[in-house]
Amino acid sequence: MPTLTAAQKRAQAQADYDAFLARCPSRQLLDRISDKWVTLVLAALGSDGPHAPGSNRVGEPRAMRYSELARRLAGVSQKMLTQTLRSLERDGLVTRTVTATVPVTVTYELTDLGLSLHHVMHGIKDWAEAHMGEVLANREEYDTRVA
């Protein structure tokens, strides 16, 4: 059996990824990126919100401080934001930069990989916002029928 290089091993593993298989590691990634806080952190770092109602403006991705992210993501706890940022950093979707100032400045920014995911998640976020009225009406109709 020939010895494989690291690149060959990664290519083989990628060819073997199938999220429909129970042991596939891509399931863990799907679980992570389907989290609402991950979606909102990616959107915030991608300068995708919040914006004025009816406005479809998307700004340029930019670095943000922890406190700025916490303000932008209404309802997120400090613990959840910290866990989310750490997991995104571990997966290579976000970089954390510490600048020696008084006090220390810590910023978070999308990597190229994170930016590619942001583009996908942007469409899902837009779809959810555009169709929420229909979903709420369908829920109400269903609840009335089933009750």
pLDDT in tens, the chain (147 residues): 678 888 777 777 666 788 888 888 888 899 999 999 999 999 999 986 554 444 455 578 999 999 999 999 999 999 999 999 999 999 999 999 999 999 899 999 999 999 999 989 888 888 999 999 999 999 999 999 998
The confidence score (pLDDT) of residue 52 equals: 42
Q: CA 42 to CA 52: how far, in whole Å?
A: 19
The confidence score (pLDDT) of residue 23 equals: 86
Inter-residue contact 38 to 88 (CB < 8 Å): yes
Inter-residue contact 108 to 45 (CB < 8 Å): yes
Distances (CA, A) of 143 to 37, 130, 135, 137, 140: 28, 22, 12, 10, 5
Inter-residue contact 44 to 65 (CB < 8 Å): no
The confidence score (pLDDT) of residue 13 equals: 66
Kindly report whether the peptide bond that precedes residue 61 is cis, defined as omega within 30 degrees of 0.
Answer: no
The confidence score (pLDDT) of residue 47 equals: 83
Inter-residue contact 81 to 73 (CB < 8 Å): yes
The confidence score (pLDDT) of residue 127 equals: 92
